[in-house]
Amino acid sequence: MDQSKGVLATAPTCDVEATLVETTPKLEESQSGLRTAVIDGVVVPQTPSGLDDTGIDPDVLLNLALKYAHITPHFTTDSCARALHLPLPMIADLLEQLRVEKLIEILGHLGPFNFRFRITQPGRERGEWLMAISGYVGPAPVSVAAYTAMLEEQVPRLPETTAADVAAAISDLVLPEHAAEIAGLAASSGRSLFLYGPPGNGKTSMGKMLHQALRGSLWIPYCLGIENQIIRVFDRHCHLDAPEDVPAEALPKLDRRWVRVRRPFVTVGGELTHEDLDLIFDSARGYYEAPLHFKANGGLFLLDDFGCQRTPSSELLNRWIVPLEHHIDYLTLKTGQQMQVPFRHLLIISTNIDPEKVMTPGLLRRMGYRLCMANPSPDQYARIFTRYAARRGIEVPPGLVESLLARYRAENRTLHSCEPRDLIERACDMCNYRGRPEELTEETLAIAWAGYFVDRDLDPAAIQ
């Protein structure tokens, strides 16, 4: 890695089979500052042996400690270690350097490696200057190379997605056998999936449900550091903690700059722009936010309502030609400096628009799998209706669904998979409104129908 340029080479994957049979933790070190132990088959990031082994310029860590002192007038070595997620001896070294430079001063001794401090006037002035450059104060960063190496080491160890996993995840959908199989192939292989077809047939639901088939969890850093720039990665809107599968014996030596999360699920829709696919610099706070598709690494990224974005669809997909083929992406700092990062998630793109209008053949070819979510047959519609009613605990009287389907035919309406749920919900709304038990009858469905569908016989002039 050439950190001066911020461009990384993808770390080689390890020999998974050989690692899993280890009976004792196996430590690995690299210039990235990443040290790992494999414990009970789980890759665990290990505490760096010293400041020079973090993969981050020690001056960056020194400045981070001073900024913490700046916002916490009276603090301890221990509180600083907790805030920066670094070992106590390492924090003690940083604070000693600040003390020697007369930027902080000792107020008292609390125990081994633990003192009470306060910032000095020169320290406050320098801290204000540092905060003006970047207001980030929190867990210390890891290097981009360490993140890349850690992800490439974890992905092969994630649990395989089986046909049973997929079947359980999408069990609420009524699908043709071939559709379920294609969805399963995409989830198990990690290849991208392009969902298309008329609206209301479960494309968004399919994307969300497939995430439930992705088992396992992984380590991600709270933030990345490239030279003196900070990129925030951990996001509670995208990442859910998963500490329960960390072996207890790993905790004492755990590098707490990393957090264990469930495999991420990130969804975006028509609000996505081309700019959202790159690093987002927060000028008020002075640090970067990683793009959403980057935060989805190791999990699933759903691009919904494709073709409805303000940015032309061709521009969005051209942006992903290299990532889709080579599993790498390039992000750009505001200085123009680029860095290479991994692109390792299940990408699902969903659209209601004719694929030929939103995607060229060359781009479509790069999608791993394509699946048309077509309108349901009358039999499938009936199954969806009765299944959803059963889930709500409502009985479907004999002949009711047949009567409903006859009304579709009489009005020449197309069936959509979302409509059984929507009509049942509106029938329940009516029952609740009238203070009656929830039930499905010709009357309740007639009212639901009238409140759901547009009356085609209505004179347009009457609503002008």
Give the DSSP H or E segment for 282. strand 280-282
Is residue 10 over pLDDT 90? no
Can 57-133 and 142-158+183-372 be said to share one CATH topology?
Answer: no
pLDDT at 73: 82
| pLDDT mean across residues, the chain | 88
Which tokens in the block code for residue 342?
Answer: 């991994």
Is residue 179 over pLDDT 70? yes
Query: Is 371 exposed, middle or buried (CB count within 10 Å of its CB: 0-12, 13-18, 19+)?
Result: buried
What percentage of the chain reaches a pLDDT higher than 90?
74
Closest CA to 38 of 54, 53, 20: 20
pLDDT at 16: 30
CA pair distance 235, 278, nearest whole angstrom:
16
pLDDT at 113: 82
Lowest-confidence range among 10-24, 35-49, 229-243, 309-323? 10-24
Express each pLDDT in 280-314 by its tens digit.
Answer: 999 999 999 999 999 999 999 999 988 888 778 77
**CATH no., domain 57-133:** 1.10.10.10
CA pair distance 110, 433, nearest whole angstrom:
65
For 142-158+183-372, which CATH class? alpha beta
Is residue 446 over pLDDT 70? yes
Separation of first and last alpha carbons in the chain: 66
Is residue 111 over pLDDT 90? no
Is residue 463 over pLDDT 50? no
Amino acid 224 reads L
Measure CA 322 to chain center.
20
Q: How many CA within 13 A on the CB side of residue 403?
A: 13
Task: Parse the chain into domains and list their residue ranges.
Answer: 16-47, 57-133, 142-158+183-372, 378-462
Express each pLDDT in 40-74 by its tens digit.
Answer: 888 999 999 999 999 999 999 999 999 999 999 89
Express each pLDDT in 244-284 by its tens digit.
Answer: 778 888 888 999 999 999 999 999 988 888 888 999 999 99
